[in-house]
Structure 1
Amino acid sequence: MLLYRMNLMEDQPFELPYIQTHNLITTAPSSPSKNYSSIKHPRPLILVITAFDQQISEDAKLITSVVQSLRISVYPLLPHLIYTQLHQLIRSKSFQLVIFEDILMYFKLPASIKTALDEYCKANNVNIIAFPKNLNTLKSLPNNENFSELDPSYPLVIRRFTRGSPPQGFYLSRENDVLYAAKAGQVDTRSLINQVPPCRDWQRKSSRCFQRRQEIYPQLLAETASHISHFFSLLPGFDSVLRRSSVPEDLIKIEEQQWAQSWVTFVPRESTDLESFQTIAFAKVYSGYKTDVEQRSCAFDDCGINGCRGNDVYQALVVKDVGKVDGVERILFAFEPLQHWSTTLLLSDAIQHFLKDIAVLEYELGLVRYIHIDIDDVFLAPTGTRMTSSDVKRGNPQEQLGDEALIKNRHQFKWFCHTFSHAQPHTLSEAEMTQQLELNKAFAKEKDLPIEPGYSVAPHHSGVYPVVPHLYRAWKTVWNINVTTTEGYPYLFPASSRRGFNYMGVQVLPRQVSGVYTTTTRLATYPGGADKLDGMAFGGDLFDTFLFRPVNFYMTHFGNYAQDRLALYVFERLFAFIKAWTRLEIRWAPIWLLVEKHLKYNPLERRQSPSSLPVYSDPCVDARHEAIWFPSGCTPEGKRLPKAIIVGPQKTGTTALLAFMAMHPKLQPNKFETHAPFEEIQFFSDNDIYSKGVAFYNDRFLDPSNGLNFEKSATYFESPLAAQRMATLLPHAKVIVLLRDPLQRALSWYHHQRAHNIQAALKFTFNEVLNANTPEMAKFFASLSAELSPKSGVDVTQLSNQLHQLNFKCVEPSRYATYLRQWLHYYRANQILLIDVNRFESKPAEVLRDVQEFLNTSVYIDYSLLLSRNPSKGYFCAIDGPYPKAGRLLKPNHDIPGQWCLSADKGRTYNHSAINNFTSDSVFAESNHDLANLLLQYPFWRSSRSTSVMDLFPRWLNSHL
């Protein structure tokens, strides 16, 4: 059931009385004028300099999450790498914004590095955002122990509140130019120590946040114990660690005390320095001992003809250095990222403020947010959790009348199909799935339910992702579904990574987590209690997803509108908080319009996009995915995905390598087909084949207990999508690439096309094909051909396009370095074996010895005893066959009994004078040098017999160089 109108909300809206509007006036000096380039960075990069070397802190995770939620690339830089990488990043002009997790790290940079960074920022309009860390290490100013300086040359000091009254209220300035989504002029009147930050689901180090998870800890404990029970004998005492069921209260109190004493404010060093800073957020402070610096205020009650005045003292929590100090603009926070809920809101505004004039943002969020709320499992909830009539029309408390009340009010909602018995699609056959949908359709017709056309949601996300194709087929057959949602693609967490896709004409939109589930019906038993649920709405995970998503789909459940009505509880609070603190406008829209709004921000998910299909991950790696995958899919016998893949390129001897590897008793190729693409699966490079899903691909292989599964698809090497798809599903796979002399590979492809009667290959010489490297040159040759054969009726446009495409397929895959870099983006170099084709052709046994070492086969065989050169064919054939796993690749040789050779169309001999007479070796000169540099730069896998990196260089490459 789809929540169609918000008429279930309370008549009296939920309010936050402590959040009000203020009329305080802050100084707002403007930034000096700058000269911005008319060309903006199309893909900005933000450099995040972390505070710790060993691991990324939770504060840094929050910073990174905000950046990624804005669809901006982030480059985390650990402190020990600053000295080696920062100068390189500056020289390459790689980044457009810098965020320091620790503001002191910025001010304590070595003079040469800090100067270089500041000069880079000034020259390129790059700005800095910084948060505090370890401010207790700063020395106090003379005669005032509560104040410390960030840097002797910087006109801003910090004020600590270790004793006495803490800062009161959290104010957003009305006069600054930074706030965009945040609503200026608002104040939370409570003391800052009463504004406890929310606990996010991924926080692990906070004792306070762990304590809120205590009620679900036994379940987590049981799950963890079941997963690692077989390690108990290896880890003495680990069982006792698992059985810690709570955090001592004194640890929580210590953490809360440290948090309460960690508040600081920013104060200009001198009163004249006030003109260098714009206040973004501030608090009311205790005026102290009436010294000048303690009474220095950034906000005033009244500004009339006699100037600004007021008895209260306000000091900054977030300031903008407008650039008057040294030409660099900065936004400085006086609190750590996880110290206050406002970080995600203010950091988001700060990033967009600094990048708006120098970069093109992929994700222009705007101020409108669309919301769609589903109510799941209507009529299916167990006794005690279903709606009563009072939940629908606030009257009779009898639960048995609840369903009837819903039916009577059915036209207040739009309804959608689930499955009739709530069965999960991955457990059903296609016929059973279709029957379930037809039963639901009959029920909807009988009860006159107004159906939302084209929309459905699967139980527990089953079948949506990981993809179960027969669900989509059944949806199309029965309901003509074209829109659904899921929260699990590619993974549930982090929320910023959730995406949509298009599969079989169904647009799958990302769904967000609301915090209420099937079993959460009572506030008293909610894991973490009301504080946890409030925190999600009041600046926590639920608020963040709404802040960073223009279109938001949420799933709630039937029972969430019964009992304590927790769905209404959390969304009322969310809406009230958004209204109080942001300028965001909340709207509802029909499904078709929500789809268009979502695709406006995510155009690569449109059906027309070549990358609209989901990128499959291994369902057995993620527990949530495994729970909705085929029951036998993750068993040792059922999981058959390959461990190694020969990726090509084409016309380099990949079929011969496949056949010879298939001779090995412990290497198992995929099942071969009797039709195209025959021995190749081409799963990752062909969209039609890829859309068949992981289960289809898995079924192409044999039982892994009998050997190591592998496959060969030479189309993968230059495919723009194959490397990403393969690495997502098979991140630990071994990758094999064959490197043939690029001119010979190009000539081989040319003759391959001639053998298939491609007109461009038949009409033009190899020399002409190589020279048709632009559409203009291709058109020139095509026009010339038409003039020489005026009666042939040649379509010049068609022929020129075919010729240019032939040039591309001859030349581009031979530029090996270009595509190897693409693979290196997804795989480590030591996962990649490079094979010199010249060596493979002359000494295949040596190469296959290396292949066995690379794959770490459990059995080693000497291929010199299994291969014999055929003098008439000019290549090696197998002996002592047959070899069933090689299928039809190796056929009996009738000329030499006992030999098994590749088919006649393999190993063709060509007139290599085309290469010898063709002097433009320069076609590949640059790419060959690029390949040489790549081999020296990356640690590709090398045999244990290798003594030098030069062993990676193919013989043909040495001759060309």
Structure 2
Amino acid sequence: MMDKQSLLPQNFVTKTTIIRKFHNYSCRPRRLQRFIKKEITAKHCVAFLAALSVLSILYYMNYLSSPFASLMRRRRPEPFMSCAILENIYLVPSNAHNHTSVAKVRIDPRVLVFVETAFSRLGREIAELLVYNRMRYKLEVSGKSLPVMTNQDKGKYGVIVFENVNKYLEMDKWNRELLDKYCREYSVGIVAFFPPSETAKFDEPVRGFPLTRHSNMRLKDAGLNPLSPILRLTRAGETAWGELPGTDWNVFITNHSTYETLEYASNASTSSSEETRNQTVYSTVVQDHGTLDGIERVFFGSGLRFWLHRLLFLDSLSYLSHGQLSLSLNRTFLIDIDDIFVGEIGTRLLPDDVRALLRTQKRIQKLVRGFKFNLGFSGKYFHHGEPEENAGDDLLTENAHEFSWFSHMWNHQQPHLYENQTQLEVDMMLNKNFAKTHNIPVDSGYSIAPHHSGVYPVHENLYTAWRHIWKVKVTSTEEYPHLRPARLRRDQHIHESHG
């Protein structure tokens, strides 16, 4: 005679058994672990991952097609400030200060940087900034004897920089006197950064100076003193709205005439009502004119995390070195916009984007005569977007004469991936015919390969095809001599094509 269980479907019995086992083991953790290892196989894991992948793809497709998501992607970021020069508003004299003086002939254009350790963060940032700007420097770990400071009757360093001002203030008497004597004799200035404090302090005296500081401050809305003689690359007249990076700023308080504010900011910790009543601003970078001891200094209340400090640091080097470490104000620049027509659906240019590009170009042309954006195009992907994006493609080609253009390969394929020279030239001809059809001017003699492929290290077929199809004379790359570290690149190294 058959029992009741034998009359049930086999899979039902199996599922019931598993449930019972799970119930029995759930109260016993060790048995539960053994049950999971036994019952959950690799097939279950693969099936789960496959299902998760399918769900992720479906969600992503739904997200792309969602009108709300499209609106979110289309929201173009706006800057916190507008350039007064571009609005024809001149708040300050537009001429940059010339820091050159006769004292420059007695010093070399070199920076001596005292760091806490060879691997300290701010010290590394200072060194990298000097490398970016092709300035010679020497790193010295604080606490040791001073290096040789002179060569015959000439100073070896134009500016002294302290990563941590305390290493300057706490120098032993002998080295401090030697350093100060060198600065006075050769008219060399000092740049020093105040480090964060472990605890917040108020009205803390700075040893040896008629200067006090508050520490561990949160600040916002930075501005510059337009009358400061230090400003050269940096121009005053605007406010950098918003909170400044970090919550450990030092601010300076003094009534002595030797000090002049270079940069100031407001307290970000106060409420709007308190701010309206007090309107207190604090000095975050101050200049010591040296009327007390004959040594000019610039004190920074924070490191280089705030972008404006990088410019002020370079200006301070120029001023304190009497122009020996000045950077030229002349700039030659080219703005390439690659991958025109290449973007994925939902990320391509819209008509409003094209109009914004034209407006921006006209604003820049007020300052740089003849400026044009340089657009790199891949014709295969023309009209591969949504209807509104295709309208953006049309508006771009209608205004083709407003821009400079260069070929970026027909299908955006890297040149070194082509099997032979013929295939490479065929694709270049497709892009050239596309340019003729849409009246795109391509006679600049300039081109860039996708991902800079084949430029350096050199792929000979690329240069041969460029010369044959496009009459390319110059190109550029970020790979020379190496991609990393970026600070050692030779900028956009433009060189003549082979042959």
Whole-Å separation in 1 of the counterparts to 2:78 and 2:475: 31
The match for 1:375 is 337
Match of 1:263 in 2: 249
| Number of equivalenced pairs | 375
Structure 1 letter corresponding to 2:80: L
1:536-565 per-position Cα deviation (integer Å, ceiling 9, x unaligned): xxxxxxxxxxxxxxxxxxxxxxxxxxxxxx
Match of 1:418 in 2: 408
- The question of 1:45 aligning with 2:110 is answered yes
Alignment correspondent of 2:451: 460
SS in 1 for 2:312: helix
C-alpha distance after superposition, 1:681-703 (max 9, x if no partner):
xxxxxxxxxx89xxxxxxxxxxx
CA distance in 2, matches of 1:369, 1:445: 33
What is the alpha-carbon distance in structure 2 between the residues aligned to residue 19 and residue 402 of structure 1? Answer: 28
State the shift of 1:351 in Å. Answer: 1.1
CA distance in structure 1 between the partners assigned to 2:303 and 2:450 by the alignment: 40
For the pair 1:334 / 2:396, whether they are aligned, the reply is no
Between the aligned partners of 2:389 and 2:220, the Cα distance in structure 1 is 47
Alpha-carbon distance in 2 for matches of 1:425, 1:134: 51
- State how 1:125-140 maps to structure 2 within 5 Å: 125-136=187-198
Q: Give CA-to-partner distance per residue, 1:390-447, whole Å, 9 cap, x none.
A: 65579x9544555444444433333211222322122233343333323322332333
Task: Give the match's secondary structure for 1:455.
Answer: coil
Alignment of 1:289-304 (within 5 A): none
| Residue in 1 that maps onto 2:436 | 445
Offset at 1:336?
2.5
Q: How does 1:342-361 map to 2 (within 5 A)?
A: 342-357=308-323, 359=324
Give the match's secondary structure for 1:377: strand
| Counterpart selection for 2:258 from 276, 300, 309 | 276
Distance 1:277 1:493, change over 3 A: farther
Q: Are the equivalent residues in 2 in contact too, given 1:19–1:188 (CA < 8 A)?
A: no
* Distance 1:403-1:182 versus aligned 2 partners, 3 A rule: closer
Give secondary structure in 2 for the equivalent of 1:318.
strand
- 1:182 is aligned to 234
Matched-pair contact (CA < 8 Å) for 1:19–1:187: no
Q: Describe the shift of the 1:482–1:150 C-alpha distance in structure 2 as closer, same or farther (beyond 3 A).
A: same
State yes or no: 1:321 paired with 2:288: yes
What letter corresponds to residue 304 of structure 2 in structure 1?
P
Q: Give the deviation of 1:168 after TM superposition.
A: 5.6
**Aligned letter for 2:253?**
V
* Aligned match of 1:433: 424
SS of the aligned residue for 2:80 comes to coil
Structure-to-structure mapping, 1:68-107, within 5 angstroms: 68-79=131-142, 82-83=144-145, 86-90=146-150, 93-107=155-169
2:398 and 2:79 map into 1 onto residues whose CA distance is: 31
Find the residue that maps to 1:146 and give its secondary structure: coil
Match of 1:454, SS state, is: coil
Task: Tell me what 2:65 maps to.
Answer: none
TM-score (norm 2): 0.65
CA distance 1:450–1:116, shift in 2 (3 Å): same
1:63 partnered with 2:30: no
Question: Given that residues 127 and 328 in structure 1 are in contact (C-alpha distance below 8 angstroms), is that contact kept between their aligned partners in structure 2?
Answer: yes
Give the drift of 1:116. 0.6
Contact conserved, 1:66 with 1:347, CA < 8 A, in 2? Answer: no
CA contact (8 A) 1:430 1:470 kept: yes
AA in 2 matched with 1:352: S
The answer to whether the 8 A contact 2:159-2:188 is kept is yes
Structure 2 contact 289–296 (Cα < 8 Å) conserved = yes
- The answer to whether 1:147 aligns with 2:137 is no
Residues 271-670 of structure 1 aligned to structure 2 (within 5 Å): 271=255, 274-284=256-266, 313-338=280-305, 340-357=306-323, 359=324, 364-366=327-329, 369=331, 371-387=333-349, 391-392=353-354, 397-428=387-418, 429-499=420-490, 500-501=492-493, 503=495, 505-506=496-497
1:16 aligns with 2:80: yes
Letter in 2 for 1:72: M
In structure 1, how many angstroms separate the alpha carbons of the residues matched to 2:301 and 2:233?
Answer: 20
Q: CA offset at residue 467 of structure 1? A: 2.1
Residues 389 and 397 of structure 1 are in contact (CA less than 8 Å); yes or no, is this contact kept in structure 2?
A: no
| CA distance in 2: counterparts of 1:388 and 1:69, whole angstroms | 36
| Alpha carbons 1:98, 1:128 under 8 Å: kept | yes
CA shift at 1:477, angstroms?
A: 2.2
Relative to structure 1, the CA distance from residue 473 to residue 345 in structure 2 (aligned partners, 3 Å threshold; closer, same or farther) is: same
Contact 2:103 2:322 in 1 (8 A): no
Q: Which consecutive unaligned segments of at least 5 residues does structure 1 have?
A: 1-9, 25-33, 198-258, 289-309, 507-690, 693-961
Counterpart of 1:473 in 2: which secondary structure? helix
Specify whether residues 279 and 105 from structure 1 end up closer, same or farther in structure 2 by C-alpha distance, changes over 3 A only: same
Q: Which runs of 5+ in 2 are unaligned?
A: 1-73, 86-90, 92-99, 271-276, 357-385
Q: Given that residues 284 and 313 in structure 1 are in contact (C-alpha distance below 8 angstroms), is that contact kept between their aligned partners in structure 2?
A: yes
Is the 8 Å Cα contact of residues 87 and 113 (structure 1) preserved in structure 2?
A: no
Q: How far apart, CA to CA, are the structure 2 residues paired with 1:354 and 1:89?
A: 17
**Contact 1:388 1:397 (8 Å CA) reproduced:** no
Is residue 193–residue 302 contact of structure 2 (8 Å, CA) maintained in 1? Answer: yes
Q: Deviations over 1:619-640 (max 9, x none)?
A: xxxxxxxxxxxxxxxxxxxxxx
Distance between the aligned counterparts of 1:94 and 1:51, measured in 2?
22
* Alignment CA distance shift 1:13-1:370 (3 Å): farther
Task: Report the secondary structure of 2:209's partner residue.
Answer: coil
Deviation at 1:383, TM superposition (A): 4.5
After TM superposition, the score normalised by the length of structure 1 is 0.35
Relative to structure 1, is the Cα distance of residues 439 and 187 closer, same or farther in structure 2, using a 3 angstrom cutoff?
A: closer
Equivalent in the alignment of 1:156: 211
Change in 2 beyond 3 A, CA 1:316/1:382: closer
Partner SS state of residue 317, structure 1: strand
Is residue 185 of structure 2 the alignment partner of residue 123 of structure 1?
Answer: yes
CA contact (8 A) 2:110 2:325 kept: no
What is the CA distance between 1:266 and its match in structure 2?
1.3
Secondary structure class of the residue paired with 2:444? strand
SS of alignment partner, residue 324 of structure 1: coil
Deviation by residue 1:750-794 (Cα, 9 ceiling, x = unmatched) = xxxxxxxxxxxxxxxxxxxxxxxxxxxxxxxxxxxxxxxxxxxxx
| Cα shift at 1:494 | 4.5
- Structure-2 change in CA distance of 1:450 and 1:123 (3 Å): same
Aligned to 1:884: none
- 1:183-222 map, 5 Å: 183-188=235-240, 190=242, 194-195=243-244, 197=245
* Residue 460 to residue 168, structure 1, CA distance change in 2 (3 Å): closer
The answer to whether the 8 A contact 2:196-2:215 is kept is no
Q: Determine helix, strand or coil for the equivalent of 2:424.
A: helix
Partner of 1:585: none
**Conservation of the 8 A alpha-carbon contact between 1:167 and 1:285:** yes
**Equivalent AA in structure 2 for residue 170 of structure 1:** A
Query: How many angstroms does 1:389 deviate by?
Result: 5.5
In the TM superposition, what whole-angstrom CA distance separates every residue of 1:32-66 from its partner, at most 9, and x where no partner exists? xx98347365x6111111122xx422322222222
Matching residue of 1:210:
none
SS at match of 2:168: helix
Q: Taking every aligned residue pair, what percent have the same amino acid on both sides?
A: 29
How far apart, CA to CA, are the structure 2 residues paired with 1:168 and 1:440? 50
